[in-house]
Amino acid sequence: MTTSSKVVSKYIEVEDDETLALGFYDDDDDFNTFTDGDLDCSCEDGGGFSDPLSGEVKPRILLMGLRRSGKSSIQKVVFHKMSPNETLFLESTNKICREDVSNSSFVSFQIWDFPGQIDFFDPTFDYEMIFRGTGALIFVIDSQDDYVEALSRLHLTVTRAYKVNPDINFEVFIHKVDGLSDDAKIEKQRDIHKRANDDLADAGLERIHLSFYLTSIYDHSIFEAFSKVVQKLIPQLPTLENLLNIFISNSGIEKAFLFDVVSKIYVATDSSPVDMQTYELCCDMIDVVIDISCIYGLTEEEAGQPYDKESMAIIHLNNTTVMYLKEVTKFLAMVCFLREENFERKGLIDYNFHCFKNAIQEVFDVRVKVQKNRKLLSQRRRSKQALTTNGVLSNPH
């Protein structure tokens, strides 16, 4: 295996978009926290907190659900590399915690972790403002607990949110399924699915679509579910999938994933189905690459930078399959599965990969251009408004 040193910047930009090295996560509570009282801050972008540099409005992902359902654990495990056992010591959340997840590539959003019991009738809780800028609402249901109350809370939350913003993706995590047998998991999912949709149908809201996922922080299911939630928020997804399809069909590759290295969320994959084992192998491979890079790949000057342009790894599995990892951007890695005999044409694969990388770069460039234009437009609008309010602009007629 070949790995090389240097960085993957940790993309959780908390204060100044600065980087922390992978593997050295700061366990301090580096969330931006604010109380419900702070929520009525008015935002001119319709409630979305825009990135001042790009003019981009980051979609929000809300984590909601009853107390102790596992919301904060999910966030800590997926985005802070907290080990699942450590979540046992997490304290109950008592105010909304907001965190920016932004890696300046395709994955860019905010996660809002809510306290268990949100009171929609509390006048200080400006839920309209919250839901207006929301891309996805994840509702977490503890599957090891009685879920009658959770279902009625889900119904209330979803109907409120839908009224304010019908474009929200509603995602239901049937969580803590690690304690359940396979049969019990399927039965729980069927039951929750039926009851939640019946409630919506009774309210005449069958057009609201809920997506269900079985999740646990003790395996990769939470990463996979989060990947799917995030993918829905990436407008370039069809383009990325198309590029991956073209790449694999011309390179003798069976499956390819585009991974966000830090969170191990897969941003896109080709159109063949994903199986959990393959996904887990990819996550393990990324861990191995980063770990080996941290241990052997870092010179003193480059300390803390385990992922860079030269990062790549090849793993031969004992079933004649090869896994091939290559750097795509500072934050993204491609992980491919292919047969050993096809790997003999590595030159072709590398050439196709080079073309793929260029195409991705073009997609990025378009995105950057759009963001710049948006920023210019909003600046112009603002200065025009300022002029009008100062009475400088007057109608000549």
Ligand X SMILES: Nc1nc2c(ncn2[C@@H]2O[C@H](COP(=O)(O)OP(=O)(O)OP(=O)(O)O)[C@@H](O)[C@H]2O)c(=O)[nH]1
Residue 88 near which of Mg ion, ligand X, none (CB within 5-8 Å, type-dependent): ligand X
Task: Please report, as ranges, the residues that interact with ligand X according to CB under 6 A.
Answer: 65, 67-73, 87-88, 90, 92-93, 115-116, 175-176, 178-179, 216-218
Determine the size of the site formed for Mg ion (CB under 5 A): 3
Pick what 110 binds: ligand X, Mg ion, none; C-beta below 5 to 8 Å, kind-dependent.
Answer: none
Minimum distance of ligand X from residue 186's CB (angstroms): 17
What is the rounded CA–CA span in Å between residue 155 and residue 161? Answer: 10
CB 136 within 8 A of CB 169: yes
Q: Which does 392 bind (CB under 5 to 8 A by kind): ligand X, Mg ion, none?
A: none
CA–CA distance, 34 with 387 (Å, rounded to integer): 34
What's the min distance (Å) between Cβ of 151 and Mg ion? 20
- Residue 390 DSSP code: T
- Least distance to Mg ion from the beta carbon of 12, Å? 17
**68 touches, from ligand X, Mg ion, none (C-beta below 5 to 8 Å by class):** ligand X
Binding mask 26-65 for Mg ion (x = CB under 5 A): ----------------------------------------
Cβ-based nearer residue to ligand X, 81 or 346: 81
What's the closest the beta carbon of residue 314 comes to ligand X, in angstroms? 33
Helix orientation angle between 237-249 and 346-389, rounded to the nearest 10 degrees: 170
Toward ligand X, which CB reaches closer, 10 or 76?
76
Q: Give the interface segment with Mg ion, choosing from 91-99, 160-168, 227-235, 301-309 (CB under 5 A).
A: 91-99
- Give, as one character, the DSSP assignment of residue 293: I
**Residues 6 or more apart in contact with residue 326 via CB below 8 angstroms:** 311, 312, 333, 334, 353
73: partner contacted, choices ligand X, Mg ion, none (Cβ within 5-8 A by kind):
ligand X
What is the smallest separation between the CB atom of 275 and ligand X, expressed in angstroms?
21
Tokens 């609402």 found at:
137
Nearest to 157 by CA among 192, 117, 124: 117
Cα-based distances in Å from 56 to 11, 51, 298, 375, 384: 16, 5, 35, 7, 20
Interhelix angle 276-292/221-231, rounded to 10 degrees, is: 100
Q: Which of Mg ion, ligand X, none sits in contact with 87, Cβ below 5 to 8 A by type?
A: ligand X
Nearer to Mg ion, 71 or 220 (CB): 71
* 226/356 with CB nearer ligand X: 226
Q: Determine if 69 is a binding residue for Mg ion (CB under 5 A).
A: no
Report the Cα 127 to chain-centroid distance in Å: 22
Between CA 128 and CA 120 the distance in angstroms is 10
Element (H, E) at 63: strand 60-65
| Amino acid type, 369 | K
**What does 69 interact with, of ligand X, Mg ion, none (CB < 5 to 8 A by kind)?**
ligand X
Q: Rounded to the nearest 5°, which phi and psi values hold at 332?
A: -110, 145
Q: Which of 3, 50, 69, 72 binds Mg ion (CB under 5 A)?
A: 72
217 binds, among ligand X, Mg ion, none (CB under 5 to 8 A by kind): ligand X
Q: Which is nearer to ligand X, 156 or 295 (CB)?
A: 156
In angstroms, how far is CA 96 from the centroid of its own chain? 19
Q: Kindly state the smallest distance separating residue 61's Cβ from ligand X, in Å.
A: 15
**Closer residue to ligand X (CB): 86 or 310:** 86
Nearer to Mg ion, 101 or 312 (CB): 101
Nearest approach in angstroms of CB 270 to Mg ion is: 36
93: contact with Mg ion by CB under 5 A: yes
Element (H, E) at 113: strand 108-113
Burial 121-143 (b: 16+ CB within 10 A, else e): eeeebbbebbbbbbbbbbbbbbb
Instruction: Kindly identify the residues of this chain, within the stretch 357-376, that bind Mg ion according to CB under 5 A.
Output: none
Minimum CB–partner distance for residue 184 and ligand X (Å)? 14
Element (H, E) at 151: helix 148-164
d(CA 23, CA 262): 9
- Taking the complex as a whole, the smallest distance from the CB of residue 157 to ligand X amounts, in Å, to 13
Closer residue to ligand X in complex, CB, 38/350? 38
Distance CA 202, CA 198 (A): 6
Interacting residues with Mg ion (CB under 5 A): 71-72, 93
